[in-house]
């Protein structure tokens, strides 16, 4: 299989308005920025859009701004390296900072953007290799058969497709209750993380609520969790250049020695970042410690439905949740 | 012995080009009017081509030509064709397209339509051995050197006798034995019996096997990526269908081979054949990463069974081994053979039986990869020694010491015939490694927990044969006084092409600054040398270079004797001069001697050559004849027995019991490689081998869904070679530095076992951290470690292959 991309028309607008105009006129548009997801598709010739809109040059989508409520605005084109290096993010939202620092490799983080990291497609090997699966418009899931190789696949919410979110920043942003600001055809809308990431039960052909012609402008993180106790951990086979087997993000506020509020989200276990609602409910009002860790472990992966090769993700989820709790005791 | 150059560090001449990017690889080839070649690979693991429709491809602007299987020579069953009408693995080239530019070639290749019929296929050797199991090739499922292509099926009873968790042991075409194993087991205090799986591994070379070619004046010029400049040529000429003398071959740099580019290979010949079809026009085949994974000849995997019997003191009394090798779709490489041989030399069993079945599968083609068989043996056998040590209540170092050959190896035996070795200091390597690592004190912390992290320690040992003989050396001193060492060994990246050339300078007493290494292709007039594979270079090339240097020494003395009288024995060499020992004023500089050699002609200038040198050396020597003093000879030095390279590894790890993650805290590698020729080069080999071993042991993946036999891990990010952030920044090394008596300066090779020692050590350390849990599977991946730590079953069935 070659790695030579197909021919396509390339547009490089300088403003959101220009990009909108191009997108409106296009029959088959594909938005590209850092290219870390898109170019793989193109080089493998599995996806061959006829028109590619490169938004990397749009200045207004760059950078990090402080908001009045103590939160932040992060332009969609801000690179993962910039996010990892940002002092304000480190101070207010260390879970995101740590997550960004654990994406892929330094080289990829230099080019890859936060917008791309949250809106990238899944890494299911069958889907990426061009198998005509449900997600690709077919009528089978090749990753969920008696012989399927599905070590990296879902424990929850399968709904025909068992692919998982590959993003490291998505669980962090979901835990921080970020909203995603999207420019549609004419309208601009704020979408919560819970609604931005969508599972196969809503639309099996995409991972986010972004529709054709939409541009992700940026991400707004509210001040709610700024400066709270935060935790992020990613488990992958290698320390670099790997997608997560499982990752976890947590933001928690403490009142004395007890947890007053907590938001905990797990990645790599279903198509969307998974809020560990039972864990959150359990933790509120409790004191971190081995007893709480034991209880958290009991509920962290409840309802998991392992496939042929991924039951290890169940203890991995449980242990990561317990480690997040442990970080509160240590703090 | 004190040497001027041997054992000293130096900067190999290719380093600067590599670190600055100036090095030119095959893919960098450019020529006016160059066409680009792309391939259409099989979309199925085994099929037959009914028809090829080039109609749409020919319409692509820039299309030049297509080459189809009927136009190329087809090998016999289990051979490795350049293009195939009956592909036996996914991605196997069926059609080659040439076009004016790369985009057009890729577009045209994508427009090729091939109508095919799917044939039965199999990825698991045991499935193929079942009574009604599919054959990977029509008409057969086993083939190897000495084994005719045939279909071999085991009986239902063979499988029923053992159940799903143990390797069935049916008819085996390979069987050898020495000693009385039944008596050995009867006398054993502890018997360890296990079944195991070793995964297949891709070579992971940074440089894919791109190639370029053109034809001019009846000669075919090829730029290729190979480990072996001279040794690759005869095979390449055969693939192209020309005489060796009509091949012009350039291979100056090789961006990684690891055995996958040991010699020539079918894709290297493809641009030459396409070029011929379009009138000799230059053609470049740039091989993509996916194509490299599809065609790059991976290491063979194994399904195995072993029974080892130990005396109370740890001595191995009996070994019974049964190996099923995944050959891939060609006769591949005899890794199985090396599993048995390695076990005999490293452990010196008193008795042993070895049986093996090499089975064809519709997986990526297999070839030698660093320690082919030997390193899998290390990963499969070494954990069983830890288990035995535990059951015997003796230290893991002690059980290895008592079995290891040492003291020079006079009593050491190797192979089925229990033949001799040239030298062996494995026991000494264990001692030096243990001391450098501080094994006794540190391993007392085994199992120590810090939070969720458990400390583990491991030792690994490995072997590879390390030298050959009978090849040629060619050197030249030009009238400017420069020494030219002509080397055809290749440049795999080990720097050994350079370090072995220093033997010539050492023998002649040359200042290294006055030496030029002539290498990189036929244009440099290279002699017939063995390839840069099999850990042989240090031993083989130093011998070849030495005999050529000695020829030059003799000729220098004869020239001086001719000038000043007396006999050659009356003369000595020093400071790049030849002088009468009794009257140093009667002397010639080497430059002056070279000028006289030209004037004297005959053998001195290379006009008259030894009769026993290879035609390639003859041609090269004739090409440089008359340009200086030519030293040329075949290595006819004595060689008796196998040259063993032996390596040890000591490692410290932390295993996170909550995540399955492993952190390597420290590593010390030890080498029995004879005289150390180049300390920095050896250190790089120890560390590089260790990194590659860590990948072999833990992260690297080679996955097939058996329903489709389509490889799932055809990118770096899916195949997962280790990165710089997965290994310790500093790793220690030691060497026994004991000269091998059958090399003039004591050298023998070492490259390959350094990987197996490291991988086995890591596997053992992970098990140690888990309280001695035996995985019986390589690699040991994150999920396996976590499952073991949690007391959960593993996902794979015990003998399943291609699952990680």
pLDDT digits (tens, 9 = 90+) for B242-265: 999 999 999 999 999 999 999 999
Q: What is the mean pLDDT of residues B94-121?
A: 98
Q: How far apart are CA A200 and CA A270, in angstroms?
A: 10
Distances (CA, A) of B418 to A167, B351, B356, B415: 57, 10, 18, 5
Q: What is the pLDDT of residues B472-483, one digit of tens each?
A: 999 999 999 999
Total Cβ atoms within 10 A of residue B773: 17
Chain-chain contact of A4 with B658 (C-beta, under 8 angstroms): no
pLDDT at B129 over 70: yes
Please answer whether residues B414 and B440 qualify as being in contact, where contact means their C-beta atoms are separated by less than 8 angstroms.
no
Q: What is the pLDDT of residues B131-156, one digit of tens each?
A: 999 999 999 999 998 999 999 999 99
Q: Name residue, tokens 């005289």.
A: B675
Q: What is the pLDDT of residues A101-122, one digit of tens each?
A: 999 999 999 999 999 999 999 9
Q: What is the pLDDT of residues B667-680, one digit of tens each?
A: 999 999 999 999 99
Chain-chain contact of B290 with A3 (C-beta, under 8 angstroms): yes
Query: Which tokens in the block code for residue B701?
Result: 């993946």
Q: What is the mean pLDDT of residues B191-196?
A: 98
Chain-chain contact of B783 with A309 (C-beta, under 8 angstroms): yes
Residue A179 lies in a domain: yes
Which of 433-452 (B) contact A at CB < 8 A? 452
Chain-chain contact of B660 with A1 (C-beta, under 8 angstroms): no
The shortest C-alpha distance from A144 to chain B (Å) reads 11
Query: Which tokens in the block code for residue B582?
Result: 């009794």
The structure's pTM equals 0.98
Q: What is the mean pLDDT of residues A286-306?
A: 98
Q: Name residue, tokens 């009867």.
A: B186
Pairing of strands B483-486, B472-477: antiparallel
Task: Give contacts of B718 with chain A, Cβ < 8 Å.
Answer: 125
Chain-chain contact of A237 with B720 (C-beta, under 8 angstroms): yes
Chain-chain contact of B803 with A309 (C-beta, under 8 angstroms): yes
Chain-chain contact of B782 with A245 (C-beta, under 8 angstroms): yes
Chain-chain contact of B725 with A239 (C-beta, under 8 angstroms): yes
Q: Is the peptide bond before B779 cis (omega within 30 degrees of 0)?
A: yes
Domains identified in chain A, total number: 1
B710 touches chain A (CB under 8 A): yes
Q: What is the pLDDT of residues A78-97, one digit of tens each?
A: 999 999 999 999 999 999 99
Total Cβ atoms within 10 A of residue B242: 18
The shortest C-alpha distance from A244 to chain B (Å) reads 12
Nearest residue of B to residue A234, measured between CA atoms: B659
Q: How far apart are CA B51 and CA B85, in angstroms?
A: 9
Which of 277-336 (B) contact A at CB < 8 A? 288-291, 294
Whole-number percent of chain B with pLDDT over 70:
100
Collapsed DSSP state (helix, strand, coil) of residue B717: helix
pLDDT at B804 over 90: no
Closest residue by Cα to residue A86 from A190, A184, A221: A221
Chain-chain contact of A242 with B795 (C-beta, under 8 angstroms): no
Nearest residue of A to residue B702, measured between CA atoms: A149
Given the cut 0.90, state whether the ipTM is greater than it. Answer: yes
Please answer whether residues A128 and A37 qualify as being in contact, where contact means their C-beta atoms are separated by less than 8 angstroms.
no
| pLDDT of res. B2 | 87
Q: Identify which of B659, B660, B705 has the shortest CB distance to residue A149.
A: B705
Task: Give contacts of A1 with chain B, Cβ < 8 Å.
Answer: 41, 91, 288, 290-291, 294
Q: Identify which of B289, B661, B698 has the shortest CB distance to residue A3.
A: B289
Q: Classify each residue of B188-202 as buried b or exposed e, where b means 16 or more C-beta atoms within 10 Å of its C-beta.
A: bebbbebbbbbbbbb
Closest residue by Cα to residue B284 from B223, B330, B369, B336: B223
Give B237's pLDDT tier (boundaries 50, 70, 90).
very high
Nearest residue of B to residue A233, measured between CA atoms: B659
DSSP H stretches of helix in chain A: 16-25, 38-43, 80-85, 87-92, 94-101, 106-111, 114-119, 125-128, 169-175, 193-196, 277-283, 290-300, 313-330
Query: Which tokens in the block code for residue B156?
Result: 């239902």
Which of 632-661 (B) contact A at CB < 8 A? 658-661
Nearest residue of A to residue B107, measured between CA atoms: A6
B124 touches chain A (CB under 8 A): no
Burial class (CB in 10 A: 0-12, 13-18, 19+), B30: exposed
Q: What is the mean pLDDT of residues B431-456?
A: 97
Q: How far apart are CA B529 and CA B510, in angstroms?
A: 23
Chain-chain contact of B787 with A311 (C-beta, under 8 angstroms): yes
B187 touches chain A (CB under 8 A): no
Total Cβ atoms within 10 A of residue B488: 35
Please answer whether residues B759 and B460 qualify as being in contact, where contact means their C-beta atoms are separated by less than 8 angstroms.
yes
Q: Identify which of B105, B699, B795 has the shortest CB distance to residue A309.
A: B795
CATH of the domain at A277: 3.30.465.10
Q: What is the mean pLDDT of residues A54-72?
A: 97
Which one has a higher pLDDT value, B729 or B234?
Answer: B234
Q: Classify each residue of B708-740 as buried b or exposed e, where b means 16 or more C-beta atoms within 10 Å of its C-beta.
A: bbbbbbbeebbbbbbbeebbbeebbbbbbbbbb
pLDDT at B754 over 90: yes
Residue A257 lies in a domain: yes
Across chain B, mean pLDDT equals 97
Q: What is the mean pLDDT of residues B495-511?
A: 97
Q: How far apart are CA B508 and CA B483, in angstroms?
A: 9
Closest residue by Cα to residue B540 from B751, B381, B348, B789: B751
Interface test with B, best of A4, A42, A152, A329 (most B CBs within 10 A): A4
Residue A233 lies in a domain: yes
pLDDT at A28 over 90: no
Burial class (CB in 10 A: 0-12, 13-18, 19+), A295: middle
Q: Name residue, tokens 């790793």.
A: B731
Residue A194 lies in a domain: yes
Please answer whether residues A37 and A122 qualify as being in contact, where contact means their C-beta atoms are separated by less than 8 angstroms.
no
Pairing of strands B704-705, B777-778: unpaired
Give B507's pLDDT tier (boundaries 50, 70, 90).
very high
Across chain A, mean pLDDT equals 97
The shortest C-alpha distance from A223 to chain B (Å) reads 32
Task: Give contacts of B107 with chain A, Cβ < 8 Å.
Answer: 4, 6-7
For B230, phi and psi rounded to 5 degrees? -80, -50
Chain-chain contact of B782 with A149 (C-beta, under 8 angstroms): no
Chain-chain contact of B705 with A148 (C-beta, under 8 angstroms): yes
Chain-chain contact of B787 with A309 (C-beta, under 8 angstroms): no
pLDDT at A260 over 90: yes
Q: Identify which of B288, B452, B792 has the shortest CB distance to residue A311.
A: B792
The shortest C-alpha distance from B348 to chain A (Å) reads 36
Residue A34 lies in a domain: no
Q: Identify which of B103, B107, B720 has the shortest CB distance to residue A238.
A: B720
Q: What is the pLDDT of residues B575-589, one digit of tens each?
A: 999 999 999 999 999
Give A1's pLDDT tier (boundaries 50, 70, 90).
confident
Task: Give contacts of B41 with chain A, Cβ < 8 Å.
Answer: 1
pLDDT at A330 over 80: no
Q: Name residue, tokens 């068992």.
A: A162
Residue A36 lies in a domain: no
Please answer whether residues B492 and B768 qualify as being in contact, where contact means their C-beta atoms are separated by less than 8 angstroms.
no
The shortest C-alpha distance from B299 to chain A (Å) reads 21
Burial class (CB in 10 A: 0-12, 13-18, 19+), B176: middle
For B351, phi and psi rounded to 5 degrees? -150, 150
Residue A134 lies in a domain: yes
| pLDDT of res. B451 | 96
Chain-chain contact of B782 with A235 (C-beta, under 8 angstroms): yes
pLDDT at B658 over 80: yes
Q: What is the mean pLDDT of residues B495-505?
A: 97
Distance of CA A9 to the CA centre of its chain: 29
Strand partners, B198: B302, B778
Q: Can you give the residue range of the structural domain that contains A275?
A: 62-331
Chain-chain contact of A312 with B91 (C-beta, under 8 angstroms): no
Interface test with B, best of A112, A131, A149 (most B CBs within 10 A): A149
Q: Identify which of A45, A319, A323 has the shortest CB distance to residue B110.
A: A45
Q: How far apart are CA A262 and CA A251, in angstroms?
A: 6
Chain-chain contact of B658 with A322 (C-beta, under 8 angstroms): yes
Task: Give contacts of A7 with chain B, Cβ < 8 Å.
Answer: 103, 107
* Domains of chain B, earliest start first: 25-120+206-295 (3.90.1170.50), 130-202+299-360 (3.30.365.10), 429-462+643-790 (3.30.365.10), 468-634 (3.30.365.10)
Chain-chain contact of A243 with B703 (C-beta, under 8 angstroms): no
The shortest C-alpha distance from B89 to chain A (Å) reads 13
Q: How far apart are CA B166 and CA B322, in angstroms?
A: 11
Residue A211 lies in a domain: yes
Query: Which tokens in the block code for residue B208?
Result: 């894919």
Q: What is the mean pLDDT of residues A1-22?
A: 96
| pLDDT of res. A331 | 55
């Amino acid at each position: 299989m070659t790695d030579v991309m197909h021919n396509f028309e390339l547009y490089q607008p300088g403003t959101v308005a220009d990009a909108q105009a191009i997108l409106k006129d296009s029959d088959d548009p594909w938005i590209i920025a850092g290219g870390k997801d898109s170019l793989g598709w193109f080089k493998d010739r599995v996806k061959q859009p006829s028109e590619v809109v490169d938004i990397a040059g749009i200045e207004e989508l760059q950078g990090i701004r402080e908001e009045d409520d103590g939160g932040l605005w992060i332009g969609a084109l801000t690179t993962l390296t910039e996010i990892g290096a940002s002092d304000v993010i480190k101070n207010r939202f260390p879970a995101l900072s740590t997550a960004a620092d654990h994406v892929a490799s330094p080289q990829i983080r230099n080019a890859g953007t936060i917008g791309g990291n949250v809106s990238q497609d899944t890494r299911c090997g069958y889907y990426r290799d061009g198998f005509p699966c449900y997600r690709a418009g077919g009528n089978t899931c090749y990753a969920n058969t008696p012989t399927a190789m599905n070590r990296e696949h879902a424990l929850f919410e399968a709904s025909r497709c068992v692919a998982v979110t590959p993003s490291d920043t998505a669980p962090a942003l979901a835990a921080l209750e970020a909203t995603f600001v999207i420019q549609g055809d004419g309208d601009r809308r704020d979408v919560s993380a819970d609604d931005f990431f969508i599972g196969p039960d809503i639309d099996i052909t995409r991972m986010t609520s972004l529709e054709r012609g939409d541009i992700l402008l940026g991400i707004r993180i509210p001040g709610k969790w700024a400066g709270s106790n935060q935790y992020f951990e990613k488990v992958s086979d290698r320390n670099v250049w790997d997608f997560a087997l499982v990752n976890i993000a947590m933001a928690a506020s403490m009142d004395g020695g007890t947890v007053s509020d907590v938001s905990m989200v797990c990645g790599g276990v279903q198509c969307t970042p998974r809020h560990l609602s039972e864990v959150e409910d359990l933790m509120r009002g409790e004191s971190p410690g081995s007893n709480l860790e034991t209880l958290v472990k009991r509920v962290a992966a409840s309802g998991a439905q392992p496939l042929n090769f991924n039951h290890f993700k169940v203890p991995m989820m449980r242990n990561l949740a317990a480690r997040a709790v442990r970080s509160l005791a240590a703090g | 012995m004190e040497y001027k150059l041997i054992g000293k560090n130096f900067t190999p001449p290719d380093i600067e080009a590599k670190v600055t990017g100036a090095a030119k690889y095959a893919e960098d080839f450019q020529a006016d009017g160059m066409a680009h070649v792309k391939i259409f690979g099989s979309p199925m693991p085994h099929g037959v081509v009914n028809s090829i429709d080039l109609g749409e491809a020919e319409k692509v602007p820039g299309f030049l030509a297509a080459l189809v299987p009927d136009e190329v020579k087809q090998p016999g069953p289990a051979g490795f064709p350049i293009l195939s009408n009956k592909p036996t693995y996914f991605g196997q080239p069926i059609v080659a397209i040439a076009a004016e530019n790369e985009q057009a070639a890729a577009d045209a290749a994508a427009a090729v339509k091939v109508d095919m019929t799917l044939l039965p296929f199999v990825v698991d050797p045991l499935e193929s051995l079942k009574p009604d199991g599919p054959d990977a090739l029509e008409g057969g499922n086993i083939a190897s050197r000495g084994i005719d292509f045939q279909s071999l099926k085991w009986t239902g009873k063979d499988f029923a006798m053992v159940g799903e968790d143990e390797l069935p042991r049916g008819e085996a075409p390979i069987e050898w034995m020495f000693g009385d194993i039944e008596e050995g087991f009867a006398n054993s205090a502890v018997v360890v019996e296990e079944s195991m799986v070793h995964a297949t591994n891709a070579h992971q070379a940074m440089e894919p096997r791109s190639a370029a070619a053109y034809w001019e004046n009846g000669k075919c010029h090829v730029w290729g990526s190979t480990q072996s400049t001279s040794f690759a040529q005869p095979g390449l000429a055969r693939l192209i269908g020309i005489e060796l003398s009509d091949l012009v071959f350039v291979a100056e740099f090789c961006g990684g081979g690891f055995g996958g580019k040991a010699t020539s290979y079918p894709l290297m010949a493809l641009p030459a054949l396409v070029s011929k079809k379009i009138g000799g026009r230059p053609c470049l085949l740039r091989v993509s990463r996916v194509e490299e994974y599809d065609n790059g000849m991976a290491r063979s995997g194994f399904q195995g069974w072993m029974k080892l019997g130990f005396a109370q003191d740890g001595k191995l009394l009996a070994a019974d081994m049964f190996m099923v090798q995944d050959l891939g779709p060609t006769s591949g490489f005899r890794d199985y053979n090396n599993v048995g041989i390695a076990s005999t030399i490293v452990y010196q069993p008193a008795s042993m039986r070895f049986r093996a079945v090499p089975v064809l599968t519709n997986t990526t083609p297999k070839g030698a990869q660093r320690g082919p068989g030997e390193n899998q043996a290390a990963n499969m056998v070494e954990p069983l020694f830890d288990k035995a040590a535990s059951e015997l209540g003796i230290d893991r170092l002690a059980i290895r010491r008592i079995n290891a050959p040492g003291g020079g190896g006079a009593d050491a035996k190797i192979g089925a015939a229990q033949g001799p070795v040239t030298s062996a200091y494995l026991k000494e390597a264990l001692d030096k490694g243990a001391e450098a690592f501080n094994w006794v004190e540190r391993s007392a912390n085994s199992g120590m927990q810090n939070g969720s992290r458990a400390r583990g320690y491991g030792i690994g040992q490995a072997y590879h044969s390390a030298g050959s003989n009978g090849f040629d050396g060619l050197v030249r001193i030009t009238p400017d006084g420069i020494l030219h060492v002509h080397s055809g060994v290749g440049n795999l990246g080990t720097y050994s092409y350079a370090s072995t050339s220093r033997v010539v300078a050492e023998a002649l007493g040359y200042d290294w600054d006055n030496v030029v290494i002539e290498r990189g292709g036929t244009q440099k007039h290279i002699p017939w040398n063995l390839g840069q594979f099999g850990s042989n270079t240090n031993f083989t090339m130093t011998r070849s270079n030495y005999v050529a240097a000695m020829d030059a020494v003799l000729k220098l003395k004869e020239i001086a004797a001719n000038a000043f009288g007396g006999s050659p024995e009356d003369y000595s060499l020093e400071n790049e001069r030849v002088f009468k020992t009794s009257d140093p004023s009667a002397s010639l500089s080497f430059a002056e001697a070279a000028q006289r050699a030209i004037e004297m002609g005959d053998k001195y200038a290379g006009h008259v050559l030894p009769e026993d040198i290879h035609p390639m050396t003859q041609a090269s020597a004739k090409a440089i004849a008359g340009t200086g003093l030519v030293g040329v000879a075949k290595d006819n030095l004595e060689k008796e027995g196998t040259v063993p390279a032996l390596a040890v590894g000591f490692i410290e790890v932390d295993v996170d019991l909550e995540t399955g993650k492993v952190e390597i805290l420290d590593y010390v590698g030890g080498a029995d490689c004879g005289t150390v020729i180049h300390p920095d080069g050896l250190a790089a080999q120890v560390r590089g081998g260790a990194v590659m071993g860590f990948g072999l042991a833990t992260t690297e993946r080679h996955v097939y869904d058996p329903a489709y036999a389509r490889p799932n891990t055809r990118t770096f990010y899916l195949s997962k070679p280790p990165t710089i952030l997965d290994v310790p920044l500093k790793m220690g090394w030691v060497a026994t530095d004991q000269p091998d008596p059958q090399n003039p300066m004591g050298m023998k090779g070492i490259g390959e076992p350094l990987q197996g020692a490291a991988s086995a050590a890591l596997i053992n350390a992970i098990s140690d951290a888990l309280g001695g849990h035996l995985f019986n599977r390589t690699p040991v991946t994150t999920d396996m470690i976590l499952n073991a730590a949690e007391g959960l079953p593993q996902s794979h069935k015990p003998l399943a292959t291609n699952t990680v």
